[in-house]
Amino acid sequence: MKSFAVVTIFPELFHAYFGMSIMKRAADKGLVRFGVFNQRDFAEGRHKVVDDYPYGGGPGMVMKPEPLFRAVEHVKSDGVPTRVILMSPQGRVFTQAEAKGLALDSGRLLFLAGRYEGVDERVLSLVDDELSIGDYVLTGGELPALVIIDAVVRLIPGALGDEESSAEESFQAGTLDFPHYTRPAEWMGMKVPEALLSGNHAEIARWRRKQALKRTLARRPELLEKETLSAQDMKLLKEIKEEEYGHD
């Protein structure tokens, strides 16, 4: 069973998300366990304050170190090996490769969801990893933590039900996903490609791979530069370039 834990000042956000869809089904199957800890429970005083003004002045507030230290110590007190991950715009950018690595990690993943201007620098002594979901700033670390947990849970065998679902998604094969269609076969003059209606599995597989390569070439060509392409992929790319640009 894969174990996830989160320290946050908004636990209700996580309870809601973990209680529905794939997250809930994975938990109900005993594939994952979620623990959500309210950072204020580890703060002192009547008001349970978790932030304070920054030394040196400046705008905004900074998350105090004491509640986070106590929270991490509490989570780790059961002796389960735990990897502490701080959500931070200064962290390493999260990718599908990172998701695979976290899915294979045998220990518990503990996410610290920061807020305000950030966390006291001393908290980094607790942290094994700093991760970011992109080069932009959000109000807090809750959404990034949920993004990463979702991406990791999807890779746990049995979580999706159909193991081919995750294997064929964008970035799994080094390319973006191919287009998807469902019934009806024609809608408002727009038709499902003949290849998908043919019943020929080889033709369908070829069409899907070609469309994935075509979409990746148009939208994220840098992905193809990193990918080791097969001879068949190179042939399909040549066809695509001839069709689109009149040359290869």
Specify whether 202 is located in the same domain as 135: no
**Encoding tokens for residue 6?**
């989160």
Give the least confident one: 112-126, 156-170, 183-197: 156-170
Q: Outline where 33-120 has alpha helix (H).
A: 65-76, 96-104
| pLDDT at residue number 245 | 84
| pLDDT at residue number 161 | 79
| pLDDT at residue number 174 | 83
In a domain, residue 68? The reply is yes
pTM: 0.88
In a domain, residue 168? The reply is no
Average pLDDT over residues 87-94: 94
Over the stretch 43-71, which tens digit does the pLDDT of each residue have? 999 999 999 999 999 999 999 999 999 99
User: If we measure between CA atoms, which residue out of 71, 65, 61 comes closest to residue 5?
Assistant: 71
| pLDDT at residue number 42 | 98
| pLDDT at residue number 226 | 87
In a domain, residue 173? The reply is no
Over the stretch 221-240, which tens digit does the pLDDT of each residue have? 999 998 899 999 999 999 99
Q: Percentage of the chain surpassing pLDDT 90?
A: 89
User: If we measure between CA atoms, which residue out of 142, 176, 160 comes closest to residue 103?
Assistant: 160
Residue identified by tokens 């049995």 is: 158
Specify whether 27 is located in the same domain as 108: yes
Side-chain-side CA neighbours of 192 within 13 Å: the count stands at 13
- Cβ density class 121-135: b for 16+ within 10 Å, e for less: eebeebbebbbbbee
In a domain, residue 162? The reply is no
pLDDT band at 246 (very low <50, low <70, confident <90, very high): confident
pLDDT band at 197 (very low <50, low <70, confident <90, very high): very high
CA distances from 48 to 9, 44, 112, 131 (A): 11, 5, 18, 27
| pLDDT at residue 127 tops 90 | yes
| pLDDT at residue number 171 | 65
Q: Which residues pair with 85 in a beta bridge?
A: 111, 129
Q: Which domain holds residue 139?
A: 2-153
Specify whether 86 is located in the same domain as 141: yes
Average pLDDT over residues 182-211: 96
| pLDDT at residue number 212 | 95
Rounded Cα distance, 141 and 183, in Å: 39
How many domains in the chain? 2
In a domain, residue 131? The reply is yes
Q: Which residues pair with 191 in a beta bridge?
A: 186
Give the CATH number, domain containing residue 223.
Answer: 1.10.1270.20
Rounded Cα distance, 144 and 149, in Å: 9
Burial tier of 143 (Cβ tally within 10 Å: 0-12, 13-18, 19+): middle
Over the stretch 151-189, which tens digit does the pLDDT of each residue have? 999 999 999 976 555 555 656 668 999 999 999 999 999
In a domain, residue 221? The reply is yes
Burial tier of 89 (Cβ tally within 10 Å: 0-12, 13-18, 19+): middle
